[in-house]
Structure 1
Amino acid sequence: MSAPHDLPTAAQLVAAVREFLQADVLPAVEGRVRFHTRVAINVLGMVEREIELGPSQAASHAERLASLGVADDAELARAVREGDLEGDPEGGALLDVLAEIVRDKLAVANPGHAE
């Protein structure tokens, strides 16, 4: 939580809406509305996890990119395309960084797939 905002936090508000949809709405609807309710529940879960994990993931991501000598994702993509990642002839550091990037994305998008 950061000033000037009070409780509940944004993550808590998102969680409350997600829980309402899951506990009260989902059992009461069918068909298309049930499908869209499930989608909304999943989206709210993603938003909740991004709010909670995003700041630390962003800091870790910046550190990983810096370890490869690139400033951002666009520069990383260019370096991969052009084979410019010097000092990593076997690609081990790059593969480690890419694996961590994917793990972070999965931790937000669908934590169950990270296992």
Structure 2
Amino acid sequence: MTRTEPHDVPSAAELVAAVRDFLETDVLPAVDGRTRYHTRVAINVLGMVEREIELGPAQAERHAAGLAALGVADDAELAAAVREGRVPDDSALVAVLEQAVRAKLEVANPGYLTP
């Protein structure tokens, strides 16, 4: 794979994965109590960052396309349009909102998604 980015290997995603793996395999088994809890939180946060790096750009493109299909530029404009009753197609609105919630769950905790 040819890299054209301005940064060398490892990528940000690879660095985050390495730190998460270190915490999971080396630190977590060696700690207990409060430190163990905070290590688990850190592992979960790093997992979220990994997923956001991986999934975020495509999710952002899909979300922008969904907003554009509703005739709004961003979430704030969508909220205003909903409040003012300016969204004519309820099914399109529901589809965009479902997609947005699914995207958030794919990053925050994919385990909450049903198959």
Structure 1 length as normaliser, TM-score?
0.93
Equivalent in the alignment of 1:63: 65
- Measure, in 1, the Cα distance between the counterparts of 2:75 and 2:34: 37
Structure 1 match to 2:47:
45
Question: For residues 79 and 9 of structure 1, what CA distance do their matches in structure 2 show?
Answer: 40
Aligned to 1:98: 97
Residues 1-115 of structure 1 mapped to structure 2, 5 A cutoff:
2-86=4-88, 88=89, 91-115=90-114
Q: CA shift at 1:80, angstroms?
A: 1.2
TM-score, normalising length: structure 2:
0.93
Aligned length: 112
- Unaligned runs of at least 5 residues, structure 2: none
What is the identity percentage for the equivalent residue pairs of Structure 1 and Structure 2?
Answer: 70
Task: Extract structure 1 runs of 4+ deviating beyond 6 A.
Answer: none
